[in-house]
Amino acid sequence: MGGGLSRGGRGVILRIASSAGQTNPPVQAIVEDTEVGPAQGEEATRRMRRRRNFPRRNRRDRSAPADRSERPLPHQPPPAPPGELYDVEGAVELMRDGSGFLRSAKTCYLPTHNDPFIAQQILRKWHMRDGAWIIGKAAVTAGGRGNGKPRLQEIETINSKPPEKHLELPEFRQLTSLDPEERMILETTPEELSMRAVDLITPIGRGQRGLIVSPPKAGKTLLLKAISLAVSANYPEIKQMILLVDERPEEVTDMRRSVKGEVIASSADGSAAEHVKVAEMAIEKAKRWAEYGEDVLILLDSLTRLGRAYNNETRGSGKILSGGIESTALQHPKRLFGAARNIEEGGSLTILGTVLVDTGSRMDDVIFEEFKGTGNMELILDRRLAERRIFPAIDITRSGTRKEEKLYEKEEMESIHLLRRAFSKMDPMSAMEKLLERLQKTPTNKDFLASIRQAAGRG
């Protein structure tokens, strides 16, 4: 078999041929004598150039920054010499293969290289669940598959109790849910009118599932801070978490410096996967504390941004609804918000989440409508009041708590009914101004309600 090269211009044609007489002949490339005209050769060259310069689709741009959830974790020095035990604490995150890791509160429960690995045997032995808070001992392994990686060696406590106690606990979904019956009084000082107003308009009980509906610049962040500080002052035994999702970094810093509760944040420079991970770990941690009979409060800012993050994470998985929302995207944030409840066996999980309205985004409106019927308390903020520097900018007639009679004493309930009847005839601005004016004249809400009954001839 032979072959030659003939150039009839600038083109060369390659042919594939095989050796004759072989059953399975080796394939070899040969150059066959073929005449190629000048025009044909130039056209082939142009096609090759176009093919080389054509951008490859569906490939990541190597010059663009990778998504943070896909980036390799930065190198960190080992926390201790190999084989030496050291103290660890953190929340459990279970993996699909049955193993787990201990995530640190310092990193808002996002993964790092120094997170201790938890073997399947330990997790199965203690019936471990996501979010369980472990204090124990770990050691950096030397040799083997986990060379240089920390592994959990001992468990001292689970949620501040002996590990054996964990085996006796029912799962969160098996606990009996009740209406909130014990009110958290937010009133602290006579001058703190915002919390006194919230106590009168939208009482908050242990186990409340509340929505704070707010347009931009209506004071929702200030309101969350005030609620957190009031709960810290009046109920230091309540475990607080302030969960900030897709928040501006400077707002995260300000919140950490302003409140006493644990601030768990995923700032705006993070990925949607990080927002989702942080929120899920925070809720699971709160559920584990509630299983132990603790009262937990989560202030979530905001459910709207959490819904956006889930929507980005579930793109391409289902039908697109109005506003660009995936049909299944909001199932997960609704499940997290729905975890709030008063537990008959003891303990409670209270979640107050903000939702954004009047942003000009159809997606935000759809998210609000989805959450609208899931709460049992709604506190509506009005931007017109905020623009007139009336704080809190609460729309009294549209705000309220379901079954509020379970949270007030009988005499208090009578005064609240009289108050609402009077405010129902006023516009939101006049009603709030009148309420704040009356509150300034009385040192406590108890005195204020007594004055209402007295004015109505029922004192």
Report if residue 94 sits inside a domain: yes
Peptide bond into 317 cis (omega under 30): no
Give the alpha-carbon dihedral of 40, 45, 46, 47, to 10 degrees.
90
The CB-side HSE value for 384 (13 A sphere, CA atoms) comes to 8
Q: Are residues 272 and 315 in the same domain?
A: yes
pTM for the full predicted model: 0.81
Q: Reduced to 3 DSSP states, what percent helix, strand and coil does the chain have, rounded to the nearest 5?
A: 35, 20, 45
Q: Is residue 70 part of a domain?
A: no
Judge if 148 and 213 occupy the same domain.
Answer: no
Question: Which structural domain range is residue 441 located in?
Answer: 177-457
| Any domain includes 203 | yes
Say what percent of the chain tops pLDDT 70: 81
How many structural domains is the chain composed of? 2
Domain closes at, from 126, 149, 168:
168
Length of the chain: 459
**DSSP code of 201?**
H
Provide CB contacts within 8 A for 198, sequence distance 6+: 186, 204, 223, 227, 379, 392, 394
Last residue of a domain, one of 141, 168, 195: 168
Can you give the pLDDT at residue 43? Answer: 61
Question: pLDDT tens-digit profile of 183-225?
Answer: 999 999 999 999 999 999 999 999 999 999 999 989 899 999 9
Query: What is the pLDDT at residue 459?
Result: 56
Q: What is the pLDDT of residues 60-96, one digit of tens each?
A: 333 333 343 434 455 566 777 788 899 999 999 999 9
426 and 397 assigned to the same domain: yes
- Pinpoint the alpha helices (H) of 314-427: 331-337, 362-372, 383-387, 410-423
* Domain co-membership, 104 together with 229: no
In a domain? residue 65: no
Has residue 344 been placed in a domain? yes
Q: CB–CB of 211/367 below 8 Å?
A: no
220/137 same-domain check: no
One domain for residues 227 and 155: no
Confidence (pLDDT) at 314: 82
Last residue of a domain, one of 168, 198, 223: 168
* CATH number, domain with residue 121: 2.40.50.140
- Contact by Cβ (8 Å): 392, 381: yes
Q: Specify whether 249 is located in the same domain as 331.
A: yes
| Nearest CA among 269, 272, 204, 265 for reference residue 234 | 204
C-alpha to C-alpha distance for 217 and 328, rounded to whole angstroms: 30
* Partners of 103 in the β-ladder: 91
